[in-house]
Amino acid sequence: MSMRIGYGWDSHVFAAGVPLKIGGIAIEHPEGLAGHSDGDVLLHAITDALLGALAVGDIGSFFPPGDPRWKNADSVIFLNLALDELRTAGYRIVNIDTTLVLAAPKIGPISGDMRQRVAELLHIEPNTVGIKAKTPEGLNLDHVAQAHAVVLLETLEDRGEISALEAEIDDPDAVEKILTNIGVGEALGGPGRRRVPLPDFDTEDIT
């Protein structure tokens, strides 16, 4: 059995007039997180952790910065792409641990809902998802939200498990269409397909 570890990090500044979304749930707060997409700092970190574990790039590799197609995009799109990569490579998530660093809002009262939502999006059990929150004390980052994510992957043992994972991913046909539109779709769908070279990593995060 092969195992891999991936690490992801993301950061966004708070801005007025923007809805706040973290971990796939809407949160009541005077400000949201600015970004080209919906600014979901936690899903972005998790997506990069998954892609990093597979050594296939990062969010910017698949969704170039400034591309108008991804303006205000739901970050679940990015996460589903990473899950499709996971399926194609024949891996599954063992567990994931995350830490949010922000002064407000308080995550504790909603951490259970957030954990449930992240588990649902990843198609894993809530007891395999860790979500912690810390304040940026002494860092002078009270107007910024950061997220760190670490994921452990293991290989699927047989094709039956791979087929089960394929069935679980939310609308895999839609994910395939997105990947095709950005020029990498046919390389990611299953056995016998040729993987096209990935673009160079872009360190500027669109999210």
Q: What is the pLDDT of residue 187?
A: 37
Beta strands 91-101; 129-134: pairing state:
parallel
Query: Is residue 104 within 8 Å of residue 10, measured between CB atoms?
Result: no
Q: What is the dihedral of CA 33, 55, 172, 202, to 10 degrees?
A: 40
Phi and psi at residue 107, to the nearest 5°:
-90, -25
d(CA 75, CA 207): 8
For residue 189, pLDDT beyond 70: no
Please say whether the dihedral angle defined by the alpha carbons of residues 26, 27, 30 and 35, taken in this order, is positive or negative: negative
User: In whole angstroms, how large is the CA radius of gyration of the chain?
Assistant: 17
Closest CA to 141 of 6, 4, 12: 12
Query: Is residue 172 within 8 Å of residue 68, measured between CB atoms?
Result: no
Q: What is the CATH number of domain 3-184?
A: 3.30.1330.50
Q: Give tens-digit pLDDT for 110-158.
A: 999 999 999 999 999 999 999 999 999 988 899 999 999 999 999 987 6
Question: So where are the chain's domains?
Answer: 3-184
The DSSP annotation for 68-125 comes to: GGGTT--THHHHHHHHHHHHHHTEEEEEEEEEEE-SSS-SGGGHHHHHHHHHHHHTS-
**Is residue 59 very low, low, confident or very high in pLDDT (cuts 50, 70, 90)?**
confident
Q: Give tens-digit pLDDT for 65-106.
A: 677 777 778 899 999 999 999 999 999 999 999 999 999 999
